[in-house]
Amino acid sequence: MPGSIPASLTADAAAAPAARRTSPGAEAWRRFRRHRLALAGAVILALIAAAVVLGPLLWAVPINEIDFAAKLQGPSWKHPLGTDDLGQDLLARVLYGGRISLAVGLAAMVIAVVVGTLVGAVAGMSRGAVDAVLMWLTELFLSLPQLPLLLLIIYLFRDALKSLVGLEASMFILIVAVIGGFRWMPVARLVRAQFLSLREKEFVEAARALGASPARLVVRHILPNAIGPVIVAGTIDVAAAIIAESTLSFLGLGFPSDVPTWGRLLYDAKDHLDIAAHWALIPGAAIFFTVLSINYLGDGLRDALDPRRVI
Amino acid sequence: MGHYLLRRLLILIPSVIGISVVLFTVLALAPGDPFEELATNPNVPAEVRASLRAQFGLDDPVVTRYFRWFGSMLQGEWGFSFASRVDVDTLILQRIPVTLLIIGSALVLALLIALPVGVYAATRPYSIFDQIANTLAFVGFSLPPFFTGILFILLFSITLDWLPFVYRADISAAGWRWYWEHLRQAIMPVAVIGLFQGASWTRYVRSAVLDVIRLDYVTTARAKGLAERAVVVKHVVRNALIPVVTLVALQMPALFGGAIVTEQIFRVPGIGSLLISAILANDTPVIMAVTFVFSFLVVAFNLLADVLYAWLDPRISYR
């Protein structure tokens, strides 16, 4: 290119500060900031996370204090979000339920991303039979009806786990494992596709020529370049896992009935819609705003982490 | 076309077998034993228990049990419901038309929303319409179906009192009135699933159309002097639909999940609510059969998608 040949040393020196290099992280942050709704989503999500982590410390009302004198009340100073049919404080219950929803979402996402990355990486690095079998397995899992199977597995295994680690912990492990175990497939396909193109690139070939072991190739050279779409998929997975857990609780088959998850609050509230609409609207709105802000966050990350997209 | 269909049908066999293996593995790994009650009952001697186990083949190797189970599933011998005291297949045959009707209508509704809105938004990217459609799509697929259902009941049944919120199979009216009542009670269950799926499909359609609309052959079609409408409908949409069909087929399991939820909210007597009540009643034969039926339906819809695929894209059918 003729333009790249410096006309003189002084011209080169003048051009240098203008073409200041930015680190990939700073560049991603610049691109992320331009997606205003994603930024708003990140802020709202941070507020929700702070509220459910710190809230129960500040609003120290017990989640299971029964007070029949104050049952099915609307919002008031004593109960800012009202009460349910046993007079239990809804603010305390929603804050507690948020901890479970967010914890389930994050833990299921970690499982889905780890399993998906492992399957995708193994399939992408090995050609032939291993790749074919793993991809067939991925397709098979994609065509399984997830909610019925989720219900079936919880039905069959809940009693056995309960005797091992206690009711609440066993449901947490079971729900997280099963939701995560049914959401790794998109990640596996993404990672495999990235690996197939990246492993033929010159820089990987150079590393191989220098004698890098396959493990080092994957960990140091291929995986860091394939991680962008995985982060986006992982973000969306958190939202999907929160919806899945709330669906189970809403069907009355998730956590035990005395644990006020957001879905469980809705399940309890749905028979009192005509007299206490606030009881259903508050946990529903909590799920909606959490999922909406995670989805916008994922959309912003997609813009920020895809170097091919010009913004 | 016939050849292609036959090949697709043959490809289905391993996936049906795979699904059945997954289902059976889950069942076989599950702790607990159908004869648990007999084992703890001191009045049943050990020899009787052992002979009963042998009679039902419970001590056979896992592989033998799998083949026996899969064989009877294929022949429609699904066992006997513990809770309702009828054969499982009669129970499911009673319930399945409602579910198929709801899922089918929801699918049509979702496509009726997603196709026009997605195509229109993609032909005017970043316009006001596109931004509103995009925002509504985000809201639509962030609202979980169970919450939309509750909002609908609050708004249309309790506040406005327009629609019934309990689905009734035994409507006593006749003639036009019967159809009208059925339509009225199906509106909310169908809308809950249809809007949720329609919202996410709108985004797929939009991005698929955006990918196609920049291609050279579209410019050629415009340069020939075709009307914009003909360019979009005949040249762009047909090609853009190819990836959309794949994505819609991939979303089928989610659609069935949504059906379970709405059937539960509106008390629709379909197989979704049958599954939930069977779980609450510990009715294992019904649970296994319903899960099997759902898996089979997903596979059947995937086959349908393959057929659509061949019709949309003639290049692949003679491969």
Whats the size of chain B, residue-wise?
319
pLDDT of residue B58: 66
Greater confidence, B135 or A66? B135
% of chain B with per-residue pLDDT over 70: 89
pLDDT digits (tens, 9 = 90+) for A36-73: 888 888 899 999 888 888 877 877 777 777 766 666 66
Q: What is the C-alpha separation between B38 and B50, in angstroms, rounded?
A: 10
Please report the ipTM that was assigned to this predicted complex: 0.83
* Chain B from 235 to 254: CB within 8 A of any A CB: 250, 252-254
Q: What pLDDT is attached to residue A71? A: 67
**Least confidently predicted of A298-307, B80-89, B136-145, B209-218:** B80-89
- Which pLDDT belongs to residue A109? 93
For the stretch B167-197, pLDDT in tens is: 776 767 677 877 777 788 888 889 999 999 9
What does the pLDDT read at residue A6? Answer: 45
Give the minimum alpha-carbon distance from B25 to chain A in angstroms, rounded to a whole number. 11
Dist. CA B275–CA B9, nearest whole Å = 28
Q: What is the pTM of this model?
A: 0.85
- Residue B176, C-beta contacts closer than 8 angstroms, at least 6 positions apart: none
Q: Which residue among A143, A149, A274 places its CB closest to the CB of B15?
A: A143
Flag whether residue A133 sits within 8 Å of chain B, measured between CB atoms: no
Using a CB–CB cutoff of 8 Å, tell me whether A253 touches chain B: yes
Nearest in space to A66 (alpha carbons), one of A83, A87, A82: A87
pLDDT single digits (tens) B291-313: 888 888 888 888 888 888 777 77
The per-residue pLDDT for range A174-227, each reduced to its tens digit, is 889 989 988 899 899 989 988 888 888 888 889 989 988 888 888 888 888 888
**pLDDT of res. B3:** 77
> pLDDT band for position A115 (50/70/90)?
very high
Evaluate if residue A116 carries a pLDDT over 90.
Answer: yes
Closest residue in B to A141 (Cα) is B19
Q: Could you give phi then psi for residue A204, rounded to 5 degrees?
A: -75, -40
The residue among A302 and A70 whose pLDDT is bigger is: A302
Backbone angles phi, psi at B142, to 5 degrees: -95, -15
Band the pLDDT of B53: cuts 50, 70, 90.
low
Which is higher by pLDDT, B1 or B64?
B64
A304-310: Cβ within 8 A, 24+ apart: A304/A28, A304/A29, A304/A31, A304/A32, A304/A35, A305/A28, A305/A228, A305/A229, A305/A231, A305/A232, A306/A228, A306/A229, A307/A228
Q: Cβ contact (<8 Å) for A270 and B150?
A: yes
Q: Are residues B154 and A239, on separate chains, in Cβ contact within 8 Å? A: no
Higher pLDDT, B7 or B231: B231
CB contact under 8 A, B298 and A251: no
> With contact defined as beta carbons under 8 Å apart, do B255 and B103 qualify?
yes
**A140 touching chain B per CB within 8 A:** yes
Q: Is A72 left (phi over 0), alpha (psi -120 to 50) or beta?
A: left
Alpha helical stretches, state H, A251-276:
262-269
Q: Which residues of B160-190 are buried (b: 16+ CB within 10 A; e: fewer)?
A: eeebbbebeeeeeeeeeeeeeeeeebbbbbb
Which chain B residues are closer than 8 Å to A174 by Cβ? none
Residue ranges of B 77-136 with Cβ closer than 8 A to chain A: none
- pLDDT at position B114: 92
A302, A304, A306, A310 alpha-carbon torsion, rounded to 10°:
120
Q: Which residues in B201-233 are b (16+ Cβ under 10 Å) and which e?
A: bbbbbbebbbebbeeeebeebeeeeeeeeebbe
Whether the predicted pLDDT of A87 surpasses 70: no
Band the pLDDT of A255: cuts 50, 70, 90.
confident
pLDDT band at B55 (very low <50, low <70, confident <90, very high): low
Residues facing residue A83 across a β-bridge:
A89
Instruction: Identify all chain B residues contacting A299, using CB atoms and an 8 Å cutoff.
Output: 138
Residue A4: pLDDT band with limits 50, 70, 90? very low
Predicted confidence at residue A3, as pLDDT, reads 42
In this prediction, residue B117 carries a pLDDT of 93
Q: A136 contacts in B (CB within 8 Å)? A: 14, 18
Residues in CB range of A56: below 8 A, 6 or more apart: A92, A95, A96, A99
> Of the spans A104-118, A193-207, A239-253, which averages the highest pLDDT?
A104-118
Least confident range of A101-110, A298-307, B37-46, B213-222:
B37-46
In tens, the pLDDT along A130-175 reads: 888 898 888 888 888 888 888 888 888 877 777 776 777 788 888 8
Q: Which two tokens stand for residue B41?
A: 């009952």
Query: Alpha helix locations (H) across chain B?
Result: 2-29, 36-40, 46-56, 62-74, 88-123, 128-142, 145-152, 176-213, 216-223, 228-230, 237-250, 252-266, 271-280, 284-312, 314-317
At A279, the pLDDT band (50, 70, 90 cuts) reads confident
Most confident option among A78-82, A303-307, B162-166, B200-204: B200-204
d(CA A195, nearest CA chain B) in Å: 22
Question: Which has more confidence, B33 or A10?
Answer: B33
Other beta carbons less than 10 A from residue B113's beta carbon: 22
> Structure tokens of A261?
């998850």
CB B293 within 8 A of CB B271: yes
How confident is the model over B267-292, as pLDDT tens digits? 888 888 888 888 888 777 888 888 88
